Amino acid sequence: MALCVMACILPYMSLRGQQADCVHTLYLHIVDEQTLQPVVGAVVQLNKVNSQSDPDGYAVFPRVCQGLFHVHVQATGYQSTGQELRYDYTDSIRIVLQPLRNTLDAIEISSHRQSVQSANAVSSLQGEELDKLKGKNLAGMLSNIAGVQMLQTGATIGKPVVNGMHSNRLLILNNGIRQEGQQWGSEHAPEIDPFIAQSISVIKGAEAIRYGAEAMGGVIIIEPPALPKDSALHAEVDLATASNGRSGTVAGMLSGNLKRIPTLSWRVQGSGKQGGNFNSAHYYLDNTGVKELNYSAALGYSGKHLQFDLFYSRFNTELGIFKGSHIGSKEDLLAAINRGAPATEGSFYYGIDAPRQHIDHHLLKARGHIHLTDYLHINLQYGFQKNRRQEYDLRRGGRTSIPSMDFDLLTHTADATLEYFDGSRWKGMVGVNGTMQQNSSAANLYTSPLIPDYNSSGTGVYAIGKWLQRTFELEAGVRYDYKYLTALGYRGPVLYGGQRSFHNVSGSLGLVYHINNQTEFKSNIGTAWRPPTVNELYSTGLHHGAAAVEYGDSSLQSEKSIQWMNTVHYANTAQWLILDADIYAHYFNGYIYLMPTGTFSESLRGAFPVFQAESTNALFAGADLSAQLRFSKHFTYQVKAAIVRAKDVQHDRYLPMIPADKWEHSLTARYDLLPFLQESYLQLTHVYVARQSRYEPNSDFAAPPPAYQLININLGTQLHFGKQNLSVHFSIENLTNVSYKDYMNRYRYYAHDIGRNYVLRLSYRI
Amino acid sequence: MKKVTHILTFALVITTMLVLNSCTKDPKPAPVEEQEEYDDVRIHFITLHTDGSQTTDTTSVSFNKEGVPSPSHKHLAPHTQYRVLIDLFYKGNSINHEIKEEGTEHQFFFLPSAPEGIESYLYNDKDADTRGIGLDGNMKIGSGEFDLKIVLRHGLDKSHPSAQAFNSATYHDAGGEDDLNIMFEVHAEE
């Protein structure tokens, strides 16, 4: 019997195209090739550092540098091996070992590449890159990836925008569960605590096959760290403090496993944040404080053929809405736009007054992974989410303390997948998922909710096949979805609503071509869809936050799209040059948006512009580019650019709220001044955001703001004391205190973006 | 055999999900008792004697939900003092008390399209800080034909310089938002 050992090196990816020196944790998975069983207790030596494979066959090496290394594997019953290998953090190296009695080649590199999860472009934030951003909200962190921008409602509310798409065209997977909140509102930020994440990844492009409806523009994946397999207690404490808003954030994480039952491991985590009014370059933004308290707990069992884990998290935030955005009528809005800045200078305080939001999100997840045979695995997952969104406005008659919106959204999701891998060439997956949702508005709010109550359910079945070859991989997938929605609400005494059902078939075809060891080309063409949201179907009334009367269209059909995403990644052998390009085209059939009708609705409060939900055909095209050049031992230059063009091709009009062109370049110096410091860096970044010149003049209340430039400085280092690690990061954002407005910030009508900000971040790990 | 069991398990999971799906019930919303918007506004002009005492001569303008005045224009005597009373209604009930109770957050402004349209206005009602509200006031009409805009601001800073004059054109600068924004034509001619 020819026994082989496979060592798969699955290093965590870092922000692609970023400096990615010695910050990656390397996981070597050592398994018996024939039985695919993990090899326990194998001694693995990497650059003179020893590690032993755990019960799952993993040997872990923290802080591994890119480039050349020597790996040596020794295991009882197997041939000891050693070889020089060169790897890039995106590589996956398969090493095949022969048993003792066999004297043939000890190591065979059968694959020297990334274990591709998607034929679309994937970018991730983790390790040092993530530490440098802690304390920001999720969208703020993600905007460090080329092609990801932010749709903001002030400094506290941010939604990620991937290649020009956001809200219901973007899917967020929080620990494997699709995030379900009131996503339709642009002032509704994702209810996720980024402190839980060990990695945050963005898959750009349509991923409708695996993830179903709404994964049109991309998928954002938030992954907590794996539960520990060793007996040590792992702890992490993070502190972040920022001068702008005078905010403080504390977060902690503790994990370990049970001594008596080593197969059971656990993790608890929590974070708290308080911030007051932000200031722009010249004045305070009244009532922009935030309070946040989040926590989570996880318990995992890891047996021979079964893995099971339970996870619970709670996200709770209260945030103030900028006072200067109080809008009672169109006249108010125009007066605010003419002024361009609040009438008063404002002041600093922590208190949060109306208008404000209070959001509470619970997530409960149970997941099982069963090894049926060596080639066949089953994943079962159930998730329950409870999202409560309360929005308080300035109201009369003591009603300010009563929310004017109070939605309670319950979501059940269930997923089952069956995975097959023949060990060399074929990978396959079939899956089914189901969703049930119930959204209800609280009674006695004394005002009609913008959307009716609704219940919905959906089912999807899909199959994906992958053919792996030495130089290329081919992937094909097909999916069928069915969705049912029943909505009913009162507008005053009048009942409205209806029932709708939608179904759709999606398909995708992807290619990953390893041109050579330096260059990889990926191309993916896929269809995706989403059903119209409840507000697009049924909303009929005044949207106070937007100072607009919005009408839904109950006859709207599903929005369908086809996207072609091409990615080129090049990294030369010596790793001093890394180039990435994502180029895409995305065509929509029935792109749903709110179209200004040009008419006004009269009321005792004044006139409001009327918007109507409409569908049209749209084309998005663009490119995200990044390049990194290490021109000396200590210096790296990096440039990132994101360009997106979007048009309503049916009417030959530009679409609103599409990010302007953005260029960003930075110079990083890496040098450890003192012997006990590691990974020290000083980075100077220049950001240029162009004016959005592609817009329809009468589609918006105000023209897009002018272009702006920002200069940011980051510096940081790491200290190690035995097993302990302290990382310190300091940054100055908007160094020159520029007074600017961003087209993607809805508050640009009323105020400038935030001014200079000093931020200190500390992460302590053991 | 084991494999068969597993496949059966998988099939069971799928069936469960499909069954879960088929039992979606209709939502049961609660009727909404709207109190946020006014549906009726009436403005009464009571002619005053030169000594300030009231006559029995009253004329009114009312506004429907859409803010349309009836009559569309009002004849008022030029250079004459009027007591102006504003009544806000919801389903036939006056909600003026809501404004009075939160008087420190509310203020009316009276903005004629021609400055000579109103010679003076004095707030008769005061909030807890003795600043005017404007549900009750004395207005001296000027002359000519003009549009009279009446705005009720909510959440403004009543100590702000822009909130001091009854006809402050910069009332927006005092902050807050419109609770009421109506307009009608005044004909103040002999």
Write out chain B residues lying below 8 Å of A344, CB-based.
157, 160, 173, 175
Q: Given this model, what pLDDT does residue B2 score?
A: 57
Q: Give dist(CA B188, CA B79) in Å, integer.
A: 8
Chain B contact probe: residue of A379, A604, A750 with most B CBs at under 10 A: A604
Q: How close A443 comes to chain B (CA, Å)? A: 6
Write out chain A residues lying below 8 Å of B32, CB-based.
443, 445-449, 490-493
Of the candidate ranges A29-38, A440-449, A638-647, B164-173, the one whose mean pLDDT is the lowest? A29-38
Q: In A, residues 421-460, which contact B (CB 8 Å cutoff)?
A: 432-434, 436, 438-441, 443-449, 452-459
Q: Give dist(CA A709, CA A56) in Å, integer.
A: 50
Q: Binning pLDDT at 50, 70 and 90, where does residue A15 land?
A: very low
Q: Given this model, what pLDDT does residue A623 score?
A: 95
CB half-sphere exposure, A486, CA atoms < 13 A: 13
Q: Given this model, what pLDDT does residue A228 score?
A: 83
Q: Give dist(CA A191, CA A116) in Å, integer.
A: 29
Q: Tell me if A396 and B25 make a contact (CB, 8 A cut-off).
A: no
Q: How close B88 comes to chain A (CA, Å)? A: 10
Write out chain A residues lying below 8 Å of B37, CB-based.
603-605
pLDDT at B157 > cutoff 50: yes
Q: What are A204-248's pLDDT values in tens digits?
A: 887 888 888 888 888 999 988 888 877 788 899 999 999 999 999
Q: Tell me if B10 and A418 make a contact (CB, 8 A cut-off).
A: yes
Write out chain B residues lying below 8 Å of A335, CB-based.
172
Torsion of CA A48, A723, A719, A251, to 10 degrees: 140
Q: What are B84-142's pLDDT values in tens digits?
A: 999 999 888 888 988 998 899 999 999 999 999 999 999 999 999 999 999 999 999 99
Instruction: Give percent helix, percent strand, percent coil of chain A, each to the nearest 5.
Output: 5, 55, 35
Nearest to B36 among A398, A436, A446 (CB): A446
Q: Give dist(CA A126, CA A142) in Å, integer.
A: 11
Q: What are A231-242's pLDDT values in tens digits?
A: 788 899 999 999
pTM of the model as a whole:
0.83
With tokens 């302590």, the residue in question is A764
**Residue (of A436, A413, A428) closest to A367 by Cα position:** A413
Nearest to A604 among B10, B31, B180 (CB): B180
Q: Give dist(CA A47, CA A65) in Å, integer.
A: 10
Nearest to B29 among A324, A434, A489 (CB): A489
Q: Binning pLDDT at 50, 70 and 90, where does residue A16 land?
A: very low
Chain A contact probe: residue of B6, B17, B19 with most A CBs at under 10 A: B17
Q: Given this model, what pLDDT does residue A279 score?
A: 94
- Give mean pLDDT, residues A190-196: 91
Minimal Cα distance from B6: which residue of A?
A: A372
Residues whose CB falls within 8 Å of the CB of residue A447, separated by 6 or more in sequence, listed in order: A404, B32, B34, B35, B36
Q: How close B31 comes to chain A (CA, Å)? A: 5
Q: What are A128-177's pLDDT values in tens digits?
A: 888 888 888 899 999 988 889 999 888 888 999 999 999 899 999 998 89
| Strand A606-630 versus strand A548-551 pairing type | parallel
Q: Using a CB–CB cutoff of 8 Å, tell me whether A339 touches chain B.
A: yes
Q: What are A549-594's pLDDT values in tens digits?
A: 889 999 999 999 999 999 999 999 888 999 999 999 999 999 999 8
Nearest to B154 among A378, A396, A436 (CB): A396
Q: Count H helices, E strands: chain B?
A: 2, 11
Higher per-residue pLDDT: A292 or B52: A292
For the record, the structure tokens of A376 come out as 């066949």
- A124: how many CB neighbours lie within 10 A of its CB? 22
Q: Using a CB–CB cutoff of 8 Å, tell me whether A484 touches chain B.
A: yes
Q: Given this model, what pLDDT does residue A105 score?
A: 28
Write out chain A residues lying below 8 Å of B98, CB-based.
396-397
Q: Tell me if B155 and A605 make a contact (CB, 8 A cut-off).
A: no
Q: Given this model, what pLDDT does residue A77 score?
A: 64
Q: Using a CB–CB cutoff of 8 Å, tell me whether A5 touches chain B.
A: no
Q: Give dist(CA B126, CA B103) in Å, integer.
A: 7
pLDDT at A393 > cutoff 70: yes
